[in-house]
Structure 1
Amino acid sequence: MGGVRTAAVAGLFYPDAPAELRAMVDDYLGQAGEGRPPKAIVAPHAGFVYSGPVAASVYHRLTPVADRISRVVLVGPSHRVAFRGLALSSAQSFQTPLGEIPLEQVSDELLRLPQLSVNDMAHAQEHSLEVQLPFLQRVLGEFRLLPIVVGDASGAEVAEVLEQVWDGEETLIVISSDLSHYHDYLTAQQMDRTTSDAILALQPERLHYEDACGRIPLQGLLEVAQRKGLDGELVDLRNSGDTAGLKDRVVGYGAYAFAVHSQQ
């Protein structure tokens, strides 16, 4: 690919007019509550009218430490391209209506991991990463991005990558995932609560295929969170029936924040 990875879902998942997009994201962020700044977050990736308020609830947590974060590792599942392993991009930047985000140069050490490869087709139309970018741009301003799309892989393979790129407070880890898909409202609530319990207990083995489309990236994060002594916090849990959709066939959305265990 090289060059710029242009926005694929602007005008579909979120507004393509910069002023409208900026106002929408800022409005969602303005409705969010306060909380402890996280090292890693999980945010949903549907159309903004559906999942935007839920995503904003956890992105707002970054506001007090935004000036310390200069690098974002963004990991989400593949929806359009089937492939083995984890996909990096050869682009120099990712573009949204709010501007371009420079990609960091991938280290030789990282490229030596067998599960990683450059696969621009996996990135070209993928929305799970793209819809996170306007929130990151509004909260953080300038930062470098390491985008990773996860295909047929294991949680352990994701965890191995996350360990290598974890670094210090300058690095934010973002996992992109929705929860249950296309159940009735009450069934979705029950399923998503069970999934949330597994996430907060840092138990990746309890996550199953039907629980979350980003199950594998989530499993990888939970493995690393265990090892590094992070606590998970549920920031928001809703579904499309709560935000902008009907209640007979909904998609679940959860926002989670992970921070180093507090001694207080």
Structure 2
Amino acid sequence: MIRRAAVAGRFYPDSKESIISQIESFDYDDKEPVEAFAVVAPHAGYQYSGPVAAKVYARLKIKGSVILIGPNHGSGRGSDAPPVAIMSEGSWELPTGEACIDGELARILMEEAPVITEAGWAHEAEHSLEVQIPFLQRFAGDASIDPIIMIAPIIMIAPIIMARLARDQVMELADGIFRAVEKYGEPVTFVASTDFSHYVPHKTAQTLDHMAIKKIEALDGPGLLDVVSKNQISMCGVQPTAVVIEVCKRLGAKKAELVSYQTSGDITGDFSSVVGYGGLLIV
């Protein structure tokens, strides 16, 4: 199965050169990337969340295949998807090139976490993972193979989108993914795709979002779920983020580091109703 780009020309440009030009226009740190288990990265249009995404991806040394976990927003056929849907074979074709599915990793993930169901079709219109791919391609270790376009030729991925699960299912999913990674036996990198507060005043977003960020920094998955629920923080990828936190903790992660945070108001100048974007490394 080949998944074509669904949001090129809307969330990000529709040509490779324009995508790279936009990413390079963001003010990111070009220091040596660090070994990390995961990134937490936003998934809005690049004009809004791209600066945060570029800063966190520039700090990441990508290891092996990438397990991307994000929310299912119910776009297109996604509204009929199983609770946890993976695309287990084929590739994603974007203007920046191809991202190939790691079929072996996907198979093991489904074996060890039975709630993960093959449903490649559910990914067709979902943007939360697609917008991560050009950043992964740009900042992959072998991107310098073509210094003109600065894009890695191929990356290997295992894309998973989640609908809302019960709390115990979130923890069971984390357990299963941890077992799968151990069984797979090769290095992997995780991406948790999430935006933070939606459509609240700028100051409110800052206050609420930093409550959630503190739980991420402490690698407290259950605490993150609790604080988001208690304070009604409209963090669309809270469960994917909690899953990634719990898996990385089992793999040996000690903390998360906030690399960048801003709201859409910092871009548009309209602070009356904003969306919050955070970029974190789990190390």
- Per the alignment, residue 34 of structure 2 pairs with 36
Asked if residue 110 in structure 1 is aligned to residue 109 in structure 2, the reply is: yes
CA contact (8 A) 2:85 2:160 kept: yes
CA contact (8 A) 2:37 2:248 kept: no
Give SS of 1:121's match: helix
Name the CA distance, whole Å, in 1 between partners of 2:114 and 2:73.
22
- Per the alignment, residue 199 of structure 1 pairs with 216
Within 5 A, what are the aligned runs for 1:192-231? 192-207=209-224, 208-209=228-229, 210-211=232-233, 212-227=235-250, 228-231=252-255
Give SS of 2:216's match: helix
TM-score, length basis structure 1: 0.88
- Per the alignment, residue 149 of structure 2 pairs with none
Question: Cα deviation per residue 1:162-207 (whole Å; 9 max; x = unaligned)?
Answer: 3123667732111100011110111011001111111111222233
CA contact (8 A) 1:238 1:252 kept: yes
1:245 CA drift (Å): 5.3
Quick one: which of 187, 193, 198 aligns to 1:181?
198
Gap change, CA 1:12 and 1:156, over 3 Å in 2: same
1:121 CA drift (Å): 3.3
Asked if residue 251 in structure 1 is aligned to residue 275 in structure 2, the reply is: yes
Gap change, CA 1:91 and 1:169, over 3 Å in 2: closer
Quick one: which of 181, 189, 210 aligns to 1:165?
181
CA contact (8 A) 1:159 1:224 kept: yes
Counterpart amino acid of residue 114 in structure 2: P
Q: How many residues align?
A: 252
Asked if residue 59 in structure 1 is aligned to residue 57 in structure 2, the reply is: yes
Name the CA distance, whole Å, in 1 between partners of 2:267 and 2:173.
31
Asked if residue 130 in structure 1 is aligned to residue 130 in structure 2, the reply is: yes
Gap change, CA 1:150 and 1:246, over 3 Å in 2: same
CA contact (8 A) 1:158 1:221 kept: no
Identical residues among aligned pairs (%)? 37
1:120 CA drift (Å): 2.5
Q: Is there any run of 5+ residues in structure 1 with no aligned partner, and where?
A: 260-264
- Per the alignment, residue 69 of structure 2 pairs with 75
Quick one: which of 145, 152, 160 aligns to 1:148?
160
Gap change, CA 1:15 and 1:186, over 3 Å in 2: same
CA contact (8 A) 1:5 1:91 kept: no
1:229 CA drift (Å): 3.6
CA contact (8 A) 1:102 1:145 kept: yes
Name the CA distance, whole Å, in 2 between partners of 1:11 and 1:245.
23
Gap change, CA 1:168 and 1:27, over 3 Å in 2: farther
- Per the alignment, residue 262 of structure 1 pairs with none
CA contact (8 A) 1:18 1:98 kept: yes
Bigger shift: 124-133 or 215-224? 215-224
Q: Is there any run of 5+ residues in structure 2 with no aligned partner, and where?
A: 141-151
1:130 CA drift (Å): 0.3
Name the CA distance, whole Å, in 1 between partners of 2:30 and 2:210.
21
CA contact (8 A) 1:225 1:231 kept: no
Bigger shift: 42-51 or 139-148? 139-148
